Amino acid sequence: MPHGTTPDMKPASELTWRSRYDGVRGRSLALADPLSDEDCGAQSMADASPVKWHLAHTTWFFETFILERMEARFQPFQPAFRILFNSYYNGIGERYPRAKRGLLTRPSMDDVRAYRANVDARIGRLLADQAGNRQLASLIELGLQHEQQHQELILTDVLHLLAQNALFPAYSDDTPLPAHSVAAQAWVAFAGGLAEIGHDGEGFCFDNELPRHRHYLAPFALAERLVTNGEYLSFIEAGGYRDPALWLSEGWDQVNLLGLTQPLYWQRDDTGNWCEFTLHGVQGLDRARAVTGVSLFEADAFARWSGARLPTEAEWEVAACSDACGEEGSQERRLRQMFGHCWQWTSSSYAPYPGYASAPGALGEYNSKFMLNQYVLRGSSIATPPGHARASYRNFFPAGARWQFTGIRLARQ
Amino acid sequence: MPHGTTPDMKPASELTWRSRYDGVRGRSLALADPLSDEDCGAQSMADASPVKWHLAHTTWFFETFILERMEARFQPFQPAFRILFNSYYNGIGERYPRAKRGLLTRPSMDDVRAYRANVDARIGRLLADQAGNRQLASLIELGLQHEQQHQELILTDVLHLLAQNALFPAYSDDTPLPAHSVAAQAWVAFAGGLAEIGHDGEGFCFDNELPRHRHYLAPFALAERLVTNGEYLSFIEAGGYRDPALWLSEGWDQVNLLGLTQPLYWQRDDTGNWCEFTLHGVQGLDRARAVTGVSLFEADAFARWSGARLPTEAEWEVAACSDACGEEGSQERRLRQMFGHCWQWTSSSYAPYPGYASAPGALGEYNSKFMLNQYVLRGSSIATPPGHARASYRNFFPAGARWQFTGIRLARQ
Amino acid sequence: MPHGTTPDMKPASELTWRSRYDGVRGRSLALADPLSDEDCGAQSMADASPVKWHLAHTTWFFETFILERMEARFQPFQPAFRILFNSYYNGIGERYPRAKRGLLTRPSMDDVRAYRANVDARIGRLLADQAGNRQLASLIELGLQHEQQHQELILTDVLHLLAQNALFPAYSDDTPLPAHSVAAQAWVAFAGGLAEIGHDGEGFCFDNELPRHRHYLAPFALAERLVTNGEYLSFIEAGGYRDPALWLSEGWDQVNLLGLTQPLYWQRDDTGNWCEFTLHGVQGLDRARAVTGVSLFEADAFARWSGARLPTEAEWEVAACSDACGEEGSQERRLRQMFGHCWQWTSSSYAPYPGYASAPGALGEYNSKFMLNQYVLRGSSIATPPGHARASYRNFFPAGARWQFTGIRLARQ
Amino acid sequence: MPHGTTPDMKPASELTWRSRYDGVRGRSLALADPLSDEDCGAQSMADASPVKWHLAHTTWFFETFILERMEARFQPFQPAFRILFNSYYNGIGERYPRAKRGLLTRPSMDDVRAYRANVDARIGRLLADQAGNRQLASLIELGLQHEQQHQELILTDVLHLLAQNALFPAYSDDTPLPAHSVAAQAWVAFAGGLAEIGHDGEGFCFDNELPRHRHYLAPFALAERLVTNGEYLSFIEAGGYRDPALWLSEGWDQVNLLGLTQPLYWQRDDTGNWCEFTLHGVQGLDRARAVTGVSLFEADAFARWSGARLPTEAEWEVAACSDACGEEGSQERRLRQMFGHCWQWTSSSYAPYPGYASAPGALGEYNSKFMLNQYVLRGSSIATPPGHARASYRNFFPAGARWQFTGIRLARQ
């Protein structure tokens, strides 16, 4: 759930804004509670970032895009942070190399906490002084949405870090895990036809969800629920990782280069039983739980082996906006587990919608430039903050990415 | 113009088939006429193949998919060739490593010529014996279409090989170069709406052109002609290769990693004048000729710099099938240079059409497995054999590929 | 100053041993005093290790090679540490991947301090119980010498880590820097002939210093003092990094691949003045100070440019053991700065002395296996613990290593 | 047997010179007789060169270092050849990239034959005109010695190329293979002491054999004969490739990275029998023949497994110059197979002899710059031209090189 974003107007009272701001910002710090300062500083691979860096970068975002623009006599909290915590905005200037973020032992976590407190206080004053400023509201909403994206990354990056440690420490037992599915797989059919997809204009959205536009769909069906660990294990036991006919060519190369034989966090214990490393530590593999930690390549191979395919993002969105979605416990034939369990790979390459336009300036710089060789995921995961998900949301990662909470929903014609 | 393919029925008389077969097969050998045996054996990079390998592999295709299936007492010409000249059909068995094709100094070119003559004679006997066999007709047509794809690759791979030689030898003065465009750029508008794309069922097509299906298009406009060397030079002189805001993120990485500053075959002579290495050797840069040797990244950056964008493949196909196409010399506002100059990058990721199904068995193994992280090109080039192009044809390459005759047609909303 | 080592008998009283043990062990912890726990956990490159890892690995050494062998009812402090803090002893079992040491956020620094305290207490009991056990004495001496090697690495690795931080934080102002040299360069001549080199049998030495053996030397001369920053700057300004004729072939490749133009920690400030990053932070370049942070390639190129060469290790040792060594302040023509400033590259490949034999078992496993493609350095540096250096000491690194305190002493025939 | 070289005076009559010149030059062409032009153009790896390139480069050497200096009105045969066939002489100007030599399909083999004939004729005229010119004699001798080095490389590079071909074609049945050893292994003892090594001043030598100098040796013994395939097979069967304790650290890394389990050209046939690819094609493994195709790492591991070690180059040379050398058929205890079977790895790093000085100018540029991270081999191989070997000859390669005719002679104290 990387980057993305342009604002949308958001009028509300100062108190409402302050409360929402404090809620989201406080949640980020709370995510670091189970971690030591040492945990927060380490970076397990170039694709992941240290927790400390996430906490500082999201603060840099408010400082750079709000305080610097709207404070009367702006002074940066620490000039060097302007470079250290810039992520990829070429328009904003120099950046510190991404792969070296784990080497920034200074500033310390305490310094970063002080940075957050300083920026929070100044944002508080702006909100008090300029209640009703629609641009301020828009930028704060954008900053909070951006921070929520990084909250998800904090959890996925921490899980990846802890998985590198031979001690396999647990993050916390309080975080949710993907839910169980006990029902047999079933299908929900859709008639297709000319549909509209994209955000419909109410509430916040990122610019990649716009403009809403028409799209023609042939009839299709989606699986009621996510693919389970148990189903995926059957694929493994049937030799799925050894049959090139099931794999996209680039996926087969990855399987062989990395010697892949299972999802990222699966392992076997000393007696050969399947386990999974989770935020709760190592657990016996729960066959009824939705499979996660799979790449698009693995999702696609599983689908082909199942005689099915992955949905397109348009199919997924049309289905999610239909009346076919149901509650977990319901008995009806309904799409379940669309949100809150794991992101669901689609077969859609991440591309601008027809008529898409980047926002001008640095805030818009970076969205469309990632629209190549990445694939869209839909839904949301156990790590997605409450209220952050919606049917038009477009998450995206390269086809080989495995360290997110990524899973599989099947489709067929 | 890599791979692709499933057959389509093609009934005709033995004489017609024989004549078509001899024509296409003979053209492959004729392409090697300006070359020495040494030229035909070398491989300039893993993506390219030696001419000798192309000549043998296309023959292997007829031997494996026709003779082995339909000859009464099939004996391979040389058992070792089954492995040496298999390209990527996992279903057919072991393969020789692609990057080492240039080390196959044995069999010699004379051996390969003998292999071709042997298979041609046996195909001739099959045609004589089984005139009217529709499956034979389909497979022969498929083999010839496949061979025509390799005829284009022979020219692009030879150009790349000769470009590595400090002597910059010419291939031949008899081959065409991309045509001149003298008219100012202009636009042809299309209304959009619900359209059908994909092959319409008459004549041969590859399986990736099927099924024909509905697609909704917003209104759009295409440029009348291709982007010229002169226009591309303006982009260079305006600092196009130094401005990250113009580039897709992965493209900017490639620019910096490889130090790119110009199309693949451009160079400057001792006095600083721009030249281009072509099949005719090094020539002064012709500003009115269509630019080629650019990646999707370069095409996309040029389009952004121009305030335009690249077309989608659906836009390109709908336009190509409309009555908006015109002859080169005509005075009307018409799309020109759609075919026969250079392949035109689209912004469309290469993906299966809705309802796409691979052909069963080895012949269908490989098409959909390449449908990831590649982008579609439309049209055809100076190297495309006569009669091989059509409006629904989908060529595809990774976004960074530059050694084909690839160019730019602009689009806008 | 990597690895090395086999024991040598060392009889002494319990009190003497205990005092020496506490002194060396305490110094390691003291080196971490200026650092935060976050600083101690980070790893700046695969060749370097986190401070926390050094503190734990040296403790593992005492636990594994003394407590496990000599304690009555040995129990490991933490079984997992047996793998985590094993460095490269294949004979001892599994190891944690070297390049991932920076990801071990658990155990924490506090855990490692507790590990040290536990092992120290148990070693103390052993010393109390078995005063006079010569094998114990030998192993403790070996463990302390090993720990002193890691004390030097703690400083070089911390300097490298802090140098990656855009804030360029200082380690501490209390550590020494290489000394100043004000005298003009002069030479001290030696007659050569049949000499003996290698440790002479008194006091501790590592096994690579044995056996003492005869070596024939032609007459030679050594420079009185180390090469200074000012002299090295003249080499840079004379184009030393751009002239291939000065460089070993592999060195020239490194210069071009990495774009080298200066010693590792040199930089220029905003006004173009030369600075150097040191344990005290960034300082203006002190031209009278000995140059450090150079590879053997750079040392060799500088020597060639100077019309001189690097000494062999035998020349260096024979000179160091002669009466030609003098005090810093003395007026006589004497070799100065032989110890305590920087390690001095020699032209000698690291190889076993004639008749060399590894110690049996794990302790001897690893010394000779590194005797290939490494080069010997002689002397000692500002980071070498007091009492650790001697004339027969053989330090060794690959020719391209630059992050140690490595400098240049010239020689000539 | 790479590079090397500075001249030495060589007075003789024109006829003698002409005959020697024609003999050596003609032998190079004769080595290409069993090969097609396609064979002569291919390059199997960056370390190897095409036969055509060897034939042209050796000719370039005579043109550059003799004709250009001594012809009255020198004109290059083809100006572009000056760059294409320069190997690594930075002082001589630009070079064509080494790894792309296989892409030089032009000039053709016929062009290169014409180049050779032209230069040979001009050298013939110089010899006729300047009989008795000592500098000419020296340079011609140097050129011929250089050409003989490339004659050995022609054979090793061709063997490597043919080994990449799945058809495993034979080069020729007329070339010799390493000889058989039937005697049990035995040792010849040497007393050591102060010895002289290096060329003694009579006849031609390369500059790396100079100056002759004193070296002190402890007593040692050398194995009478080379290690056989059968002995090496015992090492394999005893698990030699799986025991890290036998290997130098860098060698163990290579074993694991490349998955090594046997010498370079060994393979097993369909029934599991050991075979070896030789210049005669694939043959059943001859257990009595000297093992070749091993790296220094493999030679060293074998020696350690045998309870022995590799000789130093000084030990080898002192032994080779003693009266301990004997004929193959003799019954006495004598060193056998010192020359003409395979190069013998020594444990000596390739370094300049004390007092070594490069020759000035381009001819001397390149010798000492390779004196790092390479190891010396002594003796000569089946591929070494007649008359080219001598006791002081220093061949050298990186420790991991395996494609030369390299084998093992054991030593011990």
pLDDT of residue B4: 44
Strand, coil or helix: what is B194? Answer: strand
Q: Please write the tens of the pLDDT for every residue from C129-153.
A: 997 898 999 999 999 999 999 999 9
- Going by pLDDT thresholds of 50, 70 and 90, the confidence category of residue A40 is very high
- Going by pLDDT thresholds of 50, 70 and 90, the confidence category of residue C362 is low
CB atoms within 10 A of CB D360: 9
Least confident of C11-15, C155-159, C247-251, D263-267: C11-15
Chain D positions in Cβ-Cβ contact with residue B36 (cut-off 8 Å): 37, 105-106, 108
pLDDT of residue B3: 42
D347 touches chain C (CB under 8 A): yes
Q: Which residue from D215, D216, D373 is facing C373, i.e. has the nearest CB?
A: D373
Buried b (16+ CB within 10 A) or exposed e, D73-108: eeeebbebbbebbbbebbebeebbeeeebbbbbbbb
pLDDT of residue B261: 98
Contact assignment for B372 to A218 by CB distance below 8 Å = no
D109 touches chain B (CB under 8 A): yes
Do chains C and B touch, with touching meaning 3 or more CB–CB pairs less than 8 Å apart? no
Residue holding tokens 């790895």?
D345
Give C343 to chain D, closest Cα distance, Å: 20
* Chain D residue with Cα closest to C212: D218
Average pLDDT over residues D264-280: 96
Q: What is the ipTM of this complex?
A: 0.94
B42 touches chain D (CB under 8 A): yes
pLDDT of residue C178: 81
D94 touches chain C (CB under 8 A): no
Question: Looking at the DSSP assignment, which residues form a beta bridge with residue D190?
Answer: D220
Give B245 to chain A, closest Cα distance, Å: 7
pLDDT of residue C359: 66
Please report the domains of chain D, with CATH numbers, ordered by start residue: 14-163 (1.20.120), 187-412 (3.90.1580.10)
Q: Which residue has the higher pLDDT, C92 or A343?
A: A343
Contact assignment for C36 to A39 by CB distance below 8 Å = no
Do chains D and A touch, with touching meaning 3 or more CB–CB pairs less than 8 Å apart? no
Contact assignment for B39 to D103 by CB distance below 8 Å = no
Establish, for the pair of chains C and D, how many residue pairs have beta carbons separated by less than 8 Å: 72
Q: Please write the tens of the pLDDT for every residue from D335-376.
A: 999 999 999 999 999 999 999 987 665 566 557 899 999 999
* Chain C residue with Cα closest to D361: C245
A109 touches chain C (CB under 8 A): yes
Q: Please write the tens of the pLDDT for every residue from D162-177.
A: 999 999 999 999 888 8
pLDDT of B88 above 70: no
Average pLDDT, chain A: 92
pLDDT of A11 above 60: no
**Between the CA atoms of B252, B256, B258 and B261, what dihedral angle is there, to the nearest 10 degrees?**
80
pLDDT of residue B71: 95
pLDDT of residue B327: 62
DSSP state of C190: E
* Chain A residue with Cα closest to C169: A106
Contact assignment for B39 to D105 by CB distance below 8 Å = yes
pLDDT of residue B9: 43
Residue holding tokens 């820097």?
C177
pLDDT of B314 above 50: yes
Q: Which residue from B41, B44, B161 is facing D38, i.e. has the nearest CB?
A: B41
Q: Please write the tens of the pLDDT for every residue from B321-345.
A: 998 887 666 666 789 999 999 999 9
CA distances from C343 to A36, A183, C152, C197, C402 (A): 38, 70, 11, 19, 11
A49 touches chain C (CB under 8 A): no
List all chains that touch chain D, counting a touch as 3 or more CB pairs closer than 8 Å.
Answer: B, C
Average pLDDT over residues D197-212: 92
pLDDT of A411 above 90: yes
HSE-CB for D18 with a 13 A CA cutoff: 14
pLDDT of B366 above 80: no
Give C282 to chain A, closest Cα distance, Å: 16
pLDDT of residue C92: 58
Residues 11-40 of B with CB under 8 A from A: none
List all chains that touch chain A, counting a touch as 3 or more CB pairs closer than 8 Å.
Answer: B, C
* Chain B residue with Cα closest to D109: B38
Contact assignment for C214 to D214 by CB distance below 8 Å = no
Residues 266-325 of A with CB under 8 A from C: none
Give B84 to chain D, closest Cα distance, Å: 7
Most confident of the following: A82-86, C330-334, D71-75 = D71-75
Chain D positions in Cβ-Cβ contact with residue B44 (cut-off 8 Å): 103
D102 touches chain B (CB under 8 A): yes
Q: In chain D, pLDDT over 70 holds for what percent of residues?
A: 91
Contact assignment for A80 to C38 by CB distance below 8 Å = no
Chain C positions in Cβ-Cβ contact with residue D249 (cut-off 8 Å): 88, 366, 369-370, 372
Single out the residue of D378, D412, D376, D381 nearest to residue D397, CA to CA. Answer: D376
pLDDT of D8 above 50: no
Single out the residue of C144, C146, C158 nearest to residue C48, CA to CA. Answer: C158
Average pLDDT over residues B236-258: 96
pLDDT of residue D13: 74
pLDDT of B219 above 60: yes
**From CA D171, how far away is CA D282, in angstroms rounded?**
11
Q: Please write the tens of the pLDDT for every residue from A84-97.
A: 998 766 555 677 88
pLDDT of residue A178: 81
Chain B positions in Cβ-Cβ contact with residue D44 (cut-off 8 Å): 103
8 Å CB contact between B349 and B370: no
8 Å CB contact between D394 and D209: yes
- Going by pLDDT thresholds of 50, 70 and 90, the confidence category of residue B362 is low
- Going by pLDDT thresholds of 50, 70 and 90, the confidence category of residue A389 is very high
CA A273 to chain centroid: 30
- For C115-185, strand residue ranges (E) read none
Contact assignment for C251 to D355 by CB distance below 8 Å = no
Contact assignment for C247 to D369 by CB distance below 8 Å = yes
D144 touches chain B (CB under 8 A): no
Chain C positions in Cβ-Cβ contact with residue D366 (cut-off 8 Å): 249
Average pLDDT over residues D310-333: 85
pLDDT of residue A406: 98
pLDDT of D62 above 60: yes
Q: Please write the tens of the pLDDT for every residue from B164-179.
A: 999 999 999 988 888 7
Q: Please write the tens of the pLDDT for every residue from C148-172.
A: 999 999 999 999 999 999 999 999 9
Contact assignment for B102 to D165 by CB distance below 8 Å = no
How does strand A343-349 pair with strand A406-407? parallel
Structure tokens at B69: 């299936």
Q: Please write the tens of the pLDDT for every residue from B267-286.
A: 999 999 999 999 999 999 99
List all chains that touch chain C, counting a touch as 3 or more CB pairs closer than 8 Å.
Answer: A, D
Got the DSSP string for C215-275? EEE--EEEESSPPBHHHHHHHHHTTGGG-GGGS-HHHHHHHHHHT--S-TTEEE-TTS-EE
pLDDT of residue C357: 83
Burial of D331 (0-12, 13-18, 19+ CB in 10 A): exposed
Contact assignment for A105 to C44 by CB distance below 8 Å = no
HSE-CB for D100 with a 13 A CA cutoff: 16
pLDDT of residue C7: 43
pLDDT of residue C364: 61
Got the DSSP string for A85-99? T--S-GGG-----GG
- Going by pLDDT thresholds of 50, 70 and 90, the confidence category of residue D10 is very low
Average pLDDT, chain D: 92
Average pLDDT over residues C309-317: 98
Contact assignment for D102 to B42 by CB distance below 8 Å = yes
**From CA C248, how far away is CA C256, in angstroms rounded?**
12
Do chains C and D touch, with touching meaning 3 or more CB–CB pairs less than 8 Å apart? yes
Beta carbons within 8 Å of A27's beta carbon, 6+ residues apart: A151, A385
Q: Please write the tens of the pLDDT for every residue from C220-271.
A: 999 999 999 999 999 999 999 999 999 999 999 999 999 999 999 999 999 9
- Going by pLDDT thresholds of 50, 70 and 90, the confidence category of residue B132 is confident
Contact assignment for A103 to C161 by CB distance below 8 Å = yes
List all chains that touch chain B, counting a touch as 3 or more CB pairs closer than 8 Å.
Answer: A, D
Question: Looking at the DSSP assignment, which residues form a beta bridge with residue C412?
Answer: C221
pLDDT of D129 above 90: yes
Single out the residue of B405, B408, B410, B407 nearest to residue B176, CA to CA. Answer: B405
Q: Which residue from D88, D252, D369 is facing C248, i.e. has the nearest CB?
A: D369
